[in-house]
Structure 1
């Protein structure tokens, strides 16, 4: 895109900015090499392992790292707890390199300690969805072959009756235990090992256990958030997880070069704070927020569960600089009726991903927080979260794009015949990146479908423009076919979002005897706003062809149902519509 009339922006093209940031010897340098038998680009200057990052976090000293209600843990206190637990994992519980350690709890400070402790002894950290039922948790523990599970009391109550079906699960450690005594064989109390959060600072300093870990050793087993079928465990290496935040850092640094500005020097006196609204067990929570925050020396404020009413006073008190998660959460803060009662001026970034976002969201952010940088991106569990990031002026100019990839990432659009399509054409998105996972755990069939010679076959329908900006069109499985015509649900959802009364929207297919499917929509309205079904249908009709206009729209005041990772549960929504003749 050309610069605005009378403006010097952009000072550099995407291609030139990417190449400048990737020059040899720089922190974001990119080289070509062979990783696990596959030729690809990678970051040669990347930190070698996640264990290395944990050790380096000592440099941030007594700064707050994790805040949860009345509990605070500094970087040094957190590292002490990590080291003490790591020694216990190795010496007391016999955890060896490659063993799976399941981590299943809410966003408590103990989640982070368990995660880094497992990784520091060479184990495969295996986060699981804390929303899962006992049966689902049994599946995850059985599928992963976890030797140890670190859980909170609520999770323990869900899995205790399933333990007999898990012969490989040797031990369970309960964090934040409230029972006086469990007296169950193989069940232990985390506080007996590391104490409570506010006590971690008083632990004796200990070095991490002596374990050899290499960049391409297995690090994490992160379960997908599919809304249908059994979740699959995506296996990633230390290199892949670390490459995720280097992808993100490149996109952020590129914003300054596009403006014609020098890259800012880190200010040791400035600490930024993220209000965490998504689970740590999600790839974004663990890979795109927790690990980069540890590296930068910033702060994470956790909540028991996301609640916009409680978020506003927290933003004011903790001087939160970054909010977001999925677009619906950003909207809840922007449109909250009590927003003006609190000082939210500390907010610098409103970022989101994981779900389609309305272009109107960008302009609303700029209106509410003129100094804040809106940001949107694309990634998935199989790519260890962030692949592209669209921020700053690029996002303002292309509010419907998920951004352009950094130099280390290759994207291509593939047609039904397997051939690469030219810019502007819609097909299936494929991604090749050093941040890609390597396989699905114990699923060779699914691995062969998704992981092909370094590429992840995403299942997303998308297009790329001439400069490489990514535009998501739909999930392949969410595309509607009405009388032989393809209808991309995101296109219809964007038209719904464009109405000033709409906060959130989801489009699904309604079975039709003759046409196959027709368009249905469920809409959440903004507080205090009203619109009729006919008015909203007319609004969509003013932008899209008649066959794309929803034949039926259902309204609700509460948020749309989503899984823990922010994806709308469309199968549940489809059940709200009756088939049509």
Structure 2
């Protein structure tokens, strides 16, 4: 099986083939790239016009064909250009997964501007930080995000607001979406350099505020090829081995379950499905019962989200009575797809399980495992895409032998150009082109990657990275809190939840609910600690003064948390 995979990968990447590789130089570093990747996202988007009258976007009873979507994207692009947006300017998108999110995105990147994907969970203070950091000239937002923005509007006095599905609460200076769509369907012509920024997505690091990762056009278009290659190479190997077609032919119909301000939904799913001429079905919010109805109604072929979504789908009481025969793949990323879930997807749903590993910093997928390959090695995230070099290193950045654990380093044309306004963080994370992922893993004898831990001090809750330092900095603002150590707590549904051990100043009294209520005004809801322990003694530290969080994780019991 693995010899067939190696053969399929080599054939697909051979000279003259669709997935031929080439070396390119970026900032003096030679990296691997897909030779046939589109030069930029404008060229890529324009190439999808050939899908014509095929259904592209579905939301409730609303539908857009590819032709209708291209017309609206051209109108949005023309309006942006007519209102002064130039290549390199930033335009923020702050809304839930409405079709207007994706239409706006294609328009922004098609005129060489930079799409800033705003985390829809952010509270007003977080929005103010993000807008001041990225300095967008225009904000495109929905009702809930506009209501939050109105609380800090005075911090961004020059930013023009475009309202989507919220005309009744717009000010006289704001622009209704209907006005944008009155512009001519005339896509402006611009030249876009492949190594300029296409979008900025915010990602949590180990300390402080989220960082704006700068995804380039080259990185994004390379990811489209990687996403296609990952499954195709494994399908081709299995088909060759079994002497028959394995799998996933026909028109794709994908249920979009995770936010478009993340690379999983936007880059891996939406970009790739657009290339294939598939249908993207949007949900107002995740609900397993509603998802099953959509699977049946829209003949969904693939559902990819965080693993808890697959669990909820399989466990839902309507699963057995719902026609899920159209499904061919179920899985995702953002958190480990545990071996028991891999088995359940194959046995109960009778479809191919899928798992990928990637980061905002890799513009999407770096590795992938599909079908029998994941079932055979359910703890793995698959082999690296051919455009990625991979190293496993010790704390001195020295390579470790195969099978030994160390930090995972990646190098590719898919790596971000850096972090916005953070040259020191960029230099620390990307060294000689090598991205320090902060993940601990190892490679087996067939170069399948296994992720076993994280070196970075983060909580991974339902696919959302939560920086411990960011949560701690908020808790320290509450009177009486003298020590706070945030760490992950295992959780069957979300993968991990936020836990915190707190030591108070002498004589102080603080309740868990008071801390949570205080945090709600400063942190998105998913970052607020679910488990809080108040310790009478100072928190344990090592010789350098750092909290011993692993000791706290091992020692504190859930039934003693507030």
TM-score bracket, normalised by the shorter chain, equals 0.7 to 0.9
Three-state SS of the structure 2 residue aligned to 1:470 is strand
Q: How big is each residue's C-alpha offset from its partner over 1:297-323, in whole Å with a ceiling of 9 and x where there is no partner?
A: 101111110011211111111111111
TM-superposed CA distance for 1:406, in Å, is: 2.1
Q: Which runs of 5+ in 2 are unaligned?
A: 462-467, 469-484, 495-523, 536-551, 557-562
Does the residue aligned with 2:335 lie in a helix, a strand or coil? coil
Which residue number corresponds to residue 21 of structure 1? 12
Q: Tell me whether 1:118 sits opposite 2:108 in the alignment.
A: yes
Shift of 1:435: 1.0
Cα deviations across residues 415-448 of structure 1 (Å, max 9, x unaligned)? Answer: 0122011111111111111111010000011111
Matched, 1:431 2:410: yes
In structure 2, the residue matched to 1:12 is 4
Once residues 285 and 14 of structure 2 are traced to their aligned partners in structure 1, the CA distance between those partners, rounded to angstroms, is: 42
Q: Structure 2 vs 1, CA of residues 227 and 110 (structure 1 numbering), >3 Å: closer, same or farther?
A: farther
Once the two structures are TM-superposed, the CA of residue 207 in structure 1 deviates from its matched residue by: 4.1
The partner residue of 2:189 within 195, 201, 210 is 210
Aligned alpha-carbon RMSD (Å): 3.0
So what's the TM-score if we normalise by structure 2? 0.81
Are the counterparts in 2 of residues 127 and 221 from structure 1 also a CA contact under 8 Å?
yes
Which residue, 29, 34, 51 being the options, matches 1:38? Answer: 29
8 Å contact kept, 1:251–1:390: yes
Partner residue, 1:562: none
8 A contact 1:414–1:428 mirrored in 2: yes
Structure 1 unaligned regions, length at least 5: 1-8, 196-202, 480-488, 494-507, 509-515, 526-566
- SS for the counterpart of 1:126 is strand
In structure 2, what is the equivalent of residue 315 of structure 1? 295
2:78 and 2:186 in contact (8 A); partners too: no
Shift of 1:257: 3.6
Pair 1:148 & 2:152 matched = no
User: Which of 436, 441, 458 matches 2:437?
Assistant: 458
Alignment partner for residue 176 of structure 2, among 174, 183, 189?
Answer: 189
Distance 1:517 1:128, change over 3 A: closer
Tell me the number of residue pairs that the alignment of Structure 1 and Structure 2 aligns: 487
Correspondence for 2:529 among 560, 572, 580:
572
Structure 1 residue 51 corresponds to structure 2 residue 34: no
In the other structure, the counterpart of 2:220 is: 241
1:528-547 → structure 2 map (5 Å cutoff): none
Distance 1:66 1:228 in 2: 38
- Quote how far apart the aligned CAs of 1:225 are: 4.2
**1:83 aligned partner:** 74
Partners of 2:16 and 2:165 in 1: CA distance: 45
Distance apart, 1:524 and its partner CA: 5.0
2:301, 2:326 within 8 Å by CA — same for their partners in 1? Answer: yes
TM-score (norm 1): 0.78
Match of 2:165 in 1: 176
Deviation at 1:520, TM superposition (A): 6.3
- In structure 2, the partner of 1:293 is 273
Partner of 1:564: none
The one of 349, 370, 386 equivalent to 1:369 is 349
1:572 match: secondary structure: coil
Contact (CA 8 Å) 2:2, 2:446: kept in 1 or not? no
Deviation track 1:189-220 (CA, whole Å, cap 9, x = no partner) reads 1112217xxxxxxx97x342011112222211
Q: Residue by residue, what CA displacement relative to the aligned partner does 1:509-551 show, whole Å, maximum 9, x if unpaired? A: xxxxxxx9999654459xxxxxxxxxxxxxxxxxxxxxxxxxx
The Cα shift of 1:22 comes to 1.1
Q: Which whole-Å CA distance do the structure 1 matches of 2:223 and 2:204 have between them?
A: 18
> Is 1:130 paired with 2:109?
no
CA distance in 1, matches of 2:486, 2:284: 40
| Preserved CA contact (<8 Å) 1:50 1:242 | yes
Provide closer, same or farther for how the CA distance between residues 519 and 218 of structure 1 changes in structure 2, counting only shifts above 3 A.
closer
Q: Aligned partners of 1:314, 1:402: CA distance in 2, in Å?
A: 28
Query: CA 1:213–1:318 in 2, change beyond 3 Å: closer, same or farther?
Result: same
Match for residue 420 of structure 1 among 370, 383, 399: 399
Question: 1:304 & 1:468 partners in 2: Cα distance?
Answer: 39
Counterpart-to-counterpart distance in 1, 2:486 and 2:40: 49
Asked whether the 8 Å contact 2:222–2:414 carries over to 1, the reply is yes
